[in-house]
Amino acid sequence: MLPTERRLAIVDEIRERPMVRADELAQRFQVSVETVRRDLRALQRDGVLDRVYGGATPAHHRSVEATFDRRRGQHRNRKRAIARLAAAAIRPGETVVLDVGTTALEVARALPHSWHGRVLTCSVPVAVELAGRPRTEVLLSGGRVRDGDLALSGTHAQAFFADYYADRAFLGSGGIHPVAGLTDYHPDEVDTRRVVIERAERAYVLADSSKLGVIAVRTVCGLDRITAVLTDGEDNADAAAELEAAGVELIRAEPAEGAARAG
């Protein structure tokens, strides 16, 4: 097992248990305790866990998501730039998934009114934004409604997305990390997002630069399931470099119209 694979397995362990012991991990992975300790030190630097005597516990500082109203006002220009980039990637006649979240809502707003195609969404605000457009077919999943974001999730939402194959999916995120992959906060919405990724030909993550290198509390998928990350040009050079070294394609939005297209 490569070090990166072992650390991903440790991340899975730490998300399921209140504490993992270094000696137990060493036995499981058939490596020395010192090797596991190096892994734990690296994961602590990445913000995945907190080291304690004899092992590690989950990091707690990523476990709470800001409210929708607060997030809506944060990094607004960055989100709009990312939204323009995403909208430029969408071709006429495509079936597109727009996820929940403030950046996904900006993508809906950035779609030209002349665009024709089908939008699948589990976001009530996205559906409302697009509902009056005569050339856009909007399909809203069922499910339980979460306050604030007005996000729909649960078994109804999962079954809805399982019935469609999308050309492109644009996914919200709590964070995108070179080891932990794509992460978010709400379990039911994470499960729905996994179905979307499974059914989409291309899956783009919408993540302004403040989310690069960040780990939320729930794992969505590994980096190998992601086509590219649409982000902005703001400075987060270290996190961006680590993601690119891990094989992630970062497509950076320009601050003005005429952003580069996602392939």
List C-alpha distances in Å: 108 to 84, 93, 189, 234: 10, 15, 19, 23
Rounded Cα gap, residues 107 and 97, in angstroms: 11
Cβ(56)–Cβ(135) under 8 Å? no
Where residue 195 sits, what CATH number does that domain have?
A: 3.40.50.1360
**Domain of 33, in residue numbers:** 3-58
From first to last of its 263 residues, the chain has per-residue pLDDT tens of 788 888 888 888 877 776 788 999 999 999 999 999 999 988 887 777 778 778 887 765 454 454 545 545 455 788 999 999 999 999 999 999 999 988 999 999 999 999 999 999 999 999 999 998 999 999 999 999 988 789 999 999 999 999 999 999 999 998 898 888 999 888 889 999 999 999 999 999 999 888 888 888 788 999 999 999 999 977 678 889 989 999 999 999 976 544 444 55
Where residue 44 sits, what CATH number does that domain have?
A: 1.10.10
Structural domains counted in the chain: 2
In a domain, 32, yes or no: yes
Q: Is 160 found in the same domain as 240?
A: yes
Q: Is 147 found in the same domain as 21?
A: no
Structure tokens at 69: 């109203």
Q: Is 93 found in the same domain as 37?
A: no
Q: Is 75 found in the same domain as 51?
A: no
**Residue reference for tokens 């902005």:** 232
In a domain, 96, yes or no: yes
Rounded Cα gap, residues 123 and 198, in angstroms: 19
- Kindly provide the b/e burial profile for residues 141-166, where b requires at least 16 CB atoms within 10 angstroms of the residue's own CB: bebeebeebbbbbbeebbebbeebeb
- Kindly provide the b/e burial profile for residues 9-30, where b requires at least 16 CB atoms within 10 angstroms of the residue's own CB: ebbebbeeeeebbbebbbeebe
173 secondary structure, DSSP code: -
Report the pLDDT value the prediction gives residue 139, as an integer from 0 to 100: 98
Q: Is 135 found in the same domain as 39?
A: no
